[in-house]
Amino acid sequence: MSEREIIEVDYLIVGAGAMGIAFADTLLSETDATVAIVDRYGRPGGHWTVAYPFVRLHQPSSFYGVNSRELGTGEVDQHGWNAGLHELASSDEILTYFDQVMRKTLLPSGRVSYFPMSHYDGADPARPDVQRCHSVVTGREFDIRVRRRTVDATYMNVTVPAMCPPKYEVASGVRLITPNQLPALDQQASHYTVVGAGKTGIDACLWLLQHGVDPSGITWIMPRDSWLLDRAQIQPGPESAASDAESFTARIRAVLESRTVEELFQRLEAGGLLLRLSSDVTPTAYRCATVSRTELEQLRRITDIVRHGRVRRIGADTVELGGATVPARPGTLYIDCTADGLEARPVVPMFSGSRITLQTLVPCQQVFSAAFAAHVEATYEDDAEKNRICVAAPHPNTALDWLRSSAHLDDLLLRWFADRGLLEWCDASRLTKYSIGSLPDELRTALFEGLHAERKQLQQLLAHEDQTVAVAAN
């Protein structure tokens, strides 16, 4: 048997998706470290390489990617359902962008080795500092000796419909596709049913409407209604500073003046901070999905919404759901949008011995979180201190998670307030919307006090909700 090839680097990054590339970019900028990147796909971009072709960012391009390179032109869309708001990169733009980051920034540094179409097999049992890998094309095995850390950039386990089969039964003869197959349609369906109500379900509905499908020809199976973010509230540039301050003040006021969770959501909605699809249905989910007001108006044109839980089986004549069985329309084309996206993952310490496990720090801002983690790795020595700064947040799922995510962010910002260097780094990062470090002292003091009060009230609201649930259960 031939001897396995071995290379030696400071860091091994497993996964060349958005978080892995953002981490590598910042690490390369702030240290002299050498890096190996091992990835199962043939090009950088992670789940973007298999996502449906019409997918776009739900938030502005200005906040996405890596710190060292702008994404997009910074222009405001003049046409379409995002008109008046900053541009949203398409999947093609994002894949080209990550390819450029790899080819024009990382590899030319001479400090990055990239192994696409390769699988990470774990540590060598006899040599803990040696990580084993193999090419999925040739089967060639190779080892990477890691002097400092192995970085797991796959822990968040992002999935899109093309990556996994549906979790429900589909009878023979039923036409079911993923969103990837929509642009390849070669004949009209008599009816379209979108299964799933997350970001992908929203995109599928908007795609059908944009291509002229009458709203009466669309059924939307919606296991849960979600609270949605208004994209107009998440815009870059100094021209948004005044509205940012107003939104922040309105959010804190809504929290402080609310005595129950129900009242809080009423206030958040009244202030335009959260949106919902139907005024007569109270959302029970929150997963950071973001829409423009125009997109929401379009989605509201779809009136055949099925709210009976998750699909269990799609048959020729009926659709069986968790709470009911409903008739199936003949000739229906079903579009599966039920992949979990960012599934619930246990929060683990980000820095632990020879490993870094990338997770979300700022809720719903994965690339900023990865770049920030790289900065902390480059700047601080002690793992306990690094983990004190980098407390991961579970991805939100339920409506109550809006409160938990907000309290988590308040706690993070209060920790970061104590370190001027962290605030200055955040202020300089293109991946964050808020410029806290540059605020005048009096405004930072007011913000500090507001965050303290908001965090305390959010914790009290959550405790009250837990107590109410416990009483009801008994």
Query: How far is Cα 63 from Cα 288, in angstroms, rounded to an integer?
Result: 15
The answer to whether residues 431 and 70 touch, using CB atoms and an 8 Å cutoff, is no
Report the distance separating Cα 30 and Cα 240, nearest Å.
30
DSSP letters along 393-420, please?
Answer: -PPP-BTHHHHHHHHHHHHHHHHHHT-H
pLDDT at 420: 86
- DSSP string for 212-276: T--GGGEEEE-SS-EEEEEGGGS--SGGGHHHHHHHHHHHHHHHHH-SSHHHHHHHHHHTTSSB-
Question: How long is the chain?
Answer: 474
* Integer Cα distance of 41 and 120 in angstroms: 12
pLDDT at 470: 63
User: Residue 167: what pLDDT?
Assistant: 92
Q: Where are the domains of the chain?
A: 5-159, 166-341, 400-473
DSSP 464: H
Looking at domain 166-341, its CATH class is alpha beta
Reported pTM: 0.95
Degrees, nearest 5: CA angle 426-427-432: 60
User: Of 61, 366, 371, which is closest to residue 237 (Cα–Cα)?
Assistant: 61
Q: What does the pLDDT read at residue 241?
A: 67
Question: Residue for token digits 């009136």?
Answer: 303
Mean pLDDT by 10 residues, the chain (474 residues): 81 98 99 98 96 95 97 95 98 98 98 98 95 97 98 90 89 96 95 96 98 98 97 84 78 96 97 96 96 98 98 97 96 93 85 97 95 98 96 94 96 88 91 70 81 96 83 62
Tokens of 378: 């480059």
165-185 residues labelled b (16+ CB within 10 A) or e (exposed): ebebebeeebebebbbbbeee
CA–CA gap between residue 174 and residue 249 (Å, rounded)? 51
Query: What is the residue whose two structure tokens read 């929401």?
Result: 296
DSSP per position, 12-45: EEE--SHHHHHHHHHHHHH----EEEE-SSSSS-
Q: Give residue 438's pLDDT.
A: 59
Give me the pLDDT at residue 1, please: 32
**Domains 5-159 and 166-341 belong to one CATH topology:** yes
The CATH number for 5-159, chosen from 3.40.640.10, 3.50.50.60, 3.40.50.620, 3.90.580.10, is: 3.50.50.60
Contact yes or no for 308/326 (Cβ under 8 A): yes
Beta bridge mates, 332: 191
